[in-house]
Amino acid sequence: MPKLYIVKLSDEERKKLHSMVNTGVNSARVFIRARVLLLSDEEKIDEEIAEALKIHTHRVARIRKRYVQEGLDKALNERFRSGKPLALDAKGEATLVALACSNPPEGRTVWTMQLLADKLVELQVTDAISDETVRLHLKKTSSGRGKRGIGRSRR
């Protein structure tokens, strides 16, 4: 099967890639991408490159394609990953901490993570939030001053 994306590096690009490979200051992912482009420029086939670098042929093809379509810098560096939006913004997190520090609801001795999550939804701070997300948000706050035993479970 003929290659759809043929890599032809300029002398300047080749020097840059050799420098990147030889210095060892880049991440492993960038190193692999640079090696793929150098080997592609030497007219090696995807299977040879994949075997030499211990990666999958699909990865070789994707790196080639990205180089041809978007250029050297885009082929070497990762795309921005948006990730999942945060469940709570700064205001929501402040509300959570204030709730956790307040007196628990009637008939309860302490706030549970699920109670806090339900209260945040009730107050329309967020549409939905899990007790685990509440725990993680509380864990990253370093407030421990004040009442003795805050954050500890009661025995």
Block residue for tokens 């921005």: 80
In the prediction, which pLDDT does 143 show?
53
> Which distant-in-sequence residues (6+ apart) come within 8 Å of 141 by Cβ?
93, 97
Q: pLDDT tens for residues 35-91? A: 999 999 999 999 999 999 999 999 999 999 999 999 999 999 988 777 777 788 899
Q: How far is CA 9 from CA 25, 90, 102, in A?
A: 22, 47, 64
Is this model's pTM higher than 0.75 or not? no
In the prediction, which pLDDT does 80 show?
78
Q: pLDDT tens for residues 81-139? A: 777 777 888 999 999 999 999 999 999 999 999 999 999 999 999 999 999 999 999 98
